[in-house]
Amino acid sequence: MTAQSSSQNPFPDLPEGTVTFLFTDIEGSTRLLYRLRESYATLLADQRRILREAFADWKGREVDTQGDAFFVAFSRATLAVSAAAQAQRKLAEHAWPEQVTVRVRVGIHTGEPWCGEDGYVGMDVHRAARIAHVGHGGQVLLSETTTALVRDELPSGVSLCDLGRHRLKDIRCPERICQLVIEGLPAEFPPLTSLEALPSEGTRLGALVLLQSDDPAILHRRIEIVNPITHLGRKTDNDIPFAKDSPVSRHHAVINARDGQMFLGEVVVADERTGQPTRPAYGTFVNGLQVREPVMLQDGDEITLGKRLCLRFEAPLIVQDVEGTTVDQLAPCTDDKTIPGVAGPKAELPNIDDKTVIAIASEKKKVLSGDGKTVASGPKSE
């Protein structure tokens, strides 16, 4: 979709000045077309009607429409977020032909474009489109600018989840992306399809210790959580990827930081053949209880992924003396020991052996092997 408006939808009164852009498209639309054939026209008409009603209710101006995709402008960021939340709820409630699931991805960004007779021009338009493109069906993604504008004015039943900084195609500066968490709708998705997820700077979010595995050699290994959203599974595009023969799903679970707490949830993906949402085959458990909705993790919680992979969650370690010195302020190691995958000096952590630590680097994902060596590595897939 281009930055210019379609001749089918001319709007002489497009918002000017600071504008919030919203892009949408259906995930797996070609697959739905093959399955439904002539019924796809009904699905497309219903999808357009639901989205247009939500946009109109929140004063959105339709700039362009191509196929199943929309480009809409709003005068306020809060209006765009409200429209996106309403649209996702209505899409989830609708009865679709042959009981298929229609999953629409949404990207929102706020900027100051140029506005002419043919529509909007400027990098802010392209940034909004790129943000939408890296998401998954059912997901609503916000740029850092939009997040700052709506953080204190979110609609009822809506919260934010920080997905960290990402490099986007053809966009020079990295973008910190947040996800809308809409009550009653799926909140856990596979990793964003950005060029690269960048590490958080100076943040300790906790760790996972391997308690049970088919490979006894990796037991008691400690894996640092370094990103505000951390995916676990056996595919190498996960933040913490396990060996390909591990008894877990390709994209199994996700741990994310929300309001100062860490939450664990299952990753729900669309079946490649039917398009229906599917969960990991052998489930996810915390302290023996199956996870169906995201669960807030406590220090010492035991997490079981699939059949035989068990980990213990350790909350971030904070060491403070009488003078208020925290662990981040302690003197760095001076014995030339380093933690694999992490650059720069490391603070001494009491009672933790460096050999038990495996740090997951953001630029090169490493699959755990029995001897601690990398058995598969490479840049995050685009």
Range list of H helices, 71-201: 77-93, 123-133, 144-150
Structural domain boundaries of the chain? 19-187, 207-374
CA-to-CA distance for 88 and 105, rounded, in angstroms?
9
Fold that domain 19-187 belongs to in CATH: Alpha-Beta Plaits (3.30.70)
> For residue range 203-213, what is the model confidence (pLDDT) as tens digits?
568 889 989 88
Exposed (0-12), middle (13-18) or buried (19+): which is 30, by Cβ within 10 Å?
Answer: exposed
Specify the pTM: 0.60
> For residue range 243-263, what is the model confidence (pLDDT) as tens digits?
878 888 888 999 988 777 899
Q: What is the pLDDT of residue 229?
A: 83
Q: What is the pLDDT of residue 64?
A: 93
> For residue range 311-358, what is the model confidence (pLDDT) as tens digits?
999 987 543 333 333 333 333 333 333 223 233 333 333 333 333 333
Distances (CA, A) of 294 to 22, 188, 192, 262, 340: 27, 8, 19, 10, 31
The structural architecture, per CATH, of the domain 207-374 is Sandwich (2.60)
